Structure 1
């Protein structure tokens, strides 16, 4: 077990390149004792947990961040960050410039049934930047956890949470597998799609919410420095349009380090969900790509690994009995495009707002409970209607014939595709914007929240 006690650092201004966990430790006072109490415990130091801890520390709260692994560590992910995620990194004070070593991209290159890609630049908006990023989770998670430490969060690695500590039905702390306990009046579950802490508190998955699965690997490729992320809306096991169409969708994300992150996803609205060899499916798809791209076994640098994608807040309630769900543990993934990192970070900031307000009102009082109950209300207000639209979208594209019709007749119409790109990536100006923004925002408001 490692224990790191972070000092209360002065927040760095946006644009300053930040340290990893290792570098952050060099400037702190070490203490061999396991922390026994805090204002807030955050379980899981991925983007959801580290962002929550960072925002809480910014608000002056004493935070213990528990992570079962050690940094740096890898996670199954597409490694693609849309402008929504870039905005959240900026809000945490992280420099995302190319000079700081980030791989920028201009937008999305979409492939349908034809061989030619259709390029869709990220929209020009007031609320979001006009570029995306690619970054391995090993680097991103390390950076975010280091940021949380720099702001004053106490990171404990190698700490596997085994059970909640309860007083009646309310959580008041957690116990680790090696027998340590830490107490706090508020606990945040950010332990990913396993959602072990949420399940231990009785939060079961909603079967009426979409679920996806994704597999991915890395390949050395001359396309590693492409300026576009790619999305393949149709997968074929031979010549497009003249062979068997495979279920799911694919991606190619250039990492800028000599490799591409290549993967595919499938939704549970597809009849093939749960009955497919996903790794074999991915190999069959990649066998149809040009040989010079090098997406083959000779150039694969890592195993093909997979993970579940819980979507549209499929585990609820987001707050009850002292426990808040943030990120994948609460199913915060966007059902339109499978994006999870930006939503994990946004949920973390909303959770920090509610927790800070609760502490200001006097924790465990009725007034503080009303503040904590505002967290699921804030989630519904920001994402609820949009996610409900996404559940409808998921049901439609689960049928390959419908997907084929959409790509065949939709891709040639640029104005339509610009609209679709904004819709799927959830990139609109909230209070300003063009007619497309008003339509998407209006639909999200009138559709009942999830």
Structure 2
């Protein structure tokens, strides 16, 4: 690729954020390149809410399962089912889902390039130059561009080289094993239900999961604690559920950011998106919807920058994202910090989840990606129940009067 070929925008990273950004820019008529490393599949539970399916026109054939319930499992193995009334959560395989998004971007006009990002330079005219190498080739290639969208993951090299403080982003490390779906080896497995394990032995600061993927299953966990054996945790979970008897297809691990960066742009020609910007929801670890929305907002910011030349336009991506979802991230961060800190609190958290009002508001917020606004009395009711658990006035059941129930936690 010669230096004479210039792009309006080069997107580094072809996951959901980068592919969405490239697609949106190409549809707007921008000359855009999508640079991605080939052959990598991110470890991910693969859950996508209806809001994502609607907003980003995801075809039904990409859904490998439609989950209609979640089961929360406490440290004492108490099981609380949370059914979804009148809806479902879609499950996708990241390999095929991500490739669909990249191919759709190319169909819209983005130029797909395979290679590994090395660094950003600037030519004599001040225009950015992306330096990358193709797989198996040490020769450096260059792309001139007016703007760069860094969507190359939690350990983003684009971010580290261009945005102050990006190298300090805190991460949790996630690991999962994709296995064949069981037939009769795991009697409690349900292909229409996600199982979430809030148990310190499986994760001291996060949770473990069993998510159905059609003819496959994702079994995983995550933790920020150094020295905690993620592979050992998954092995223990598989053994306790009978899923150690089914064939393992592949194993994957990767860092997951814990909170959004305070800045997503360099004030000149770079804006971040997806994991590079830290947009993974605390507590739940959900990232696909937020990554794709972030990619869309980054694309809009980049297009405005290209149209006006004002570098301040790049900052609008973070401003718009945080205005829409900053409060949710704050609340989920507090929840994770408090409820995941000990098995005693995890036990109470799972107990709270059996309340029907809590379930309804949780699913409404997750499915629609908006904080629910029901009758204020419902919030007061939930608040009083939460306080009863925090103060030890409520035991494992939430349908007993607080005045007569003494906690066992």
TM-score class, shorter-chain normalisation, is 0.7 to 0.9
Is 1:108 the counterpart of 2:70? The answer is: yes
Any idea what SS the aligned residue of 2:143 has?
strand
Q: 1:236 to 1:201 in 2, by over 3 A?
A: closer
The Cα shift of 1:149 comes to 0.8
Equivalent residue number for residue 89 of structure 1: 56
Equivalent residue number for residue 210 of structure 2: 252
Is 1:434 the counterpart of 2:388? The answer is: no
**Separation (CA, whole Å) in 2 of partners of 1:422 and 1:309:** 25
Q: 1:193 to 1:168 in 2, by over 3 A?
A: farther
Is 1:279 the counterpart of 2:240? The answer is: no
Matched-pair contact (CA < 8 Å) for 2:41–2:252: no
**Separation (CA, whole Å) in 1 of partners of 2:91 and 2:174:** 17
What CA deviation, in whole Å up to 9, does each residue of 1:1-25 have, x standing for no partner? xxxxxxxxxxxxxxxxxxxxxxxxx
Matched-pair contact (CA < 8 Å) for 2:176–2:252: yes
Matches within 5 A, 1:397-412: 397-407=339-349, 409-412=351-354
TM-score by length of 2: 0.80
What CA deviation, in whole Å up to 9, does each residue of 1:249-305 have, x standing for no partner? 111111112x21111122x4xxxx11211111221233222x3xxx11x42423443
Among 83, 88, 105, which residue is 1:148 paired with? 105
**Separation (CA, whole Å) in 2 of partners of 1:89 and 1:317:** 23
Equivalent residue number for residue 152 of structure 2: 191
Equivalent residue number for residue 212 of structure 1: 172
The Cα shift of 1:337 comes to 0.5
Matched-pair contact (CA < 8 Å) for 1:113–1:407: no
**Separation (CA, whole Å) in 2 of partners of 1:438 and 1:55:** 40
TM-score by length of 1: 0.73
Equivalent residue number for residue 356 of structure 2: 414
Any idea what SS the aligned residue of 2:56 has?
helix
Equivalent residue number for residue 136 of structure 2: none
Among 2, 5, 8, which residue is 1:39 paired with? 8
Any idea what SS the aligned residue of 1:388 has?
helix
Equivalent residue number for residue 13 of structure 1: none
Equivalent residue number for residue 308 of structure 1: 255
Matched-pair contact (CA < 8 Å) for 2:75–2:199: yes
The Cα shift of 1:163 comes to 0.8
Is 1:353 the counterpart of 2:311? The answer is: no
Count of matched residue positions in the alignment of Structure 1 and Structure 2:
371
Matched-pair contact (CA < 8 Å) for 2:119–2:161: yes
**Separation (CA, whole Å) in 2 of partners of 1:437 and 1:326:** 38
The Cα shift of 1:189 comes to 0.3
Q: 1:337 to 1:311 in 2, by over 3 A?
A: same
The Cα shift of 1:229 comes to 1.9
Among 277, 280, 303, which residue is 1:333 paired with? 280
| Root-mean-square deviation over aligned CA pairs | 3.2
The Cα shift of 1:179 comes to 1.4
What CA deviation, in whole Å up to 9, does each residue of 1:351-380 have, x standing for no partner? 12222223333xx2xxx3333232221122
Gaps of 5+ in 2: 134-138, 381-409
The Cα shift of 1:315 comes to 6.1
The Cα shift of 1:121 comes to 3.7
**Separation (CA, whole Å) in 1 of partners of 2:85 and 2:273:** 28
Equivalent residue number for residue 265 of structure 1: 222
Matches within 5 A, 1:205-244: 205=166, 211-220=171-180, 221-222=182-183, 226-234=191-199, 236=201
Q: 1:87 to 1:436 in 2, by over 3 A?
A: farther
Equivalent residue number for residue 20 of structure 2: 51
Equivalent residue number for residue 373 of structure 1: 315
Any idea what SS the aligned residue of 1:385 has?
helix
Is 1:175 the counterpart of 2:131? The answer is: yes
Matched-pair contact (CA < 8 Å) for 2:163–2:265: no
Is 1:160 the counterpart of 2:107? The answer is: no
Gaps of 5+ in 1: 1-31, 125-129, 238-244, 441-450
Matched-pair contact (CA < 8 Å) for 1:49–1:348: yes
Equivalent residue number for residue 403 of structure 2: none
Equivalent residue number for residue 240 of structure 1: none
Equivalent residue number for residue 136 of structure 1: 93
What CA deviation, in whole Å up to 9, does each residue of 1:310-331 have, x standing for no partner? 0221363345321010000111
Matched-pair contact (CA < 8 Å) for 2:63–2:91: no
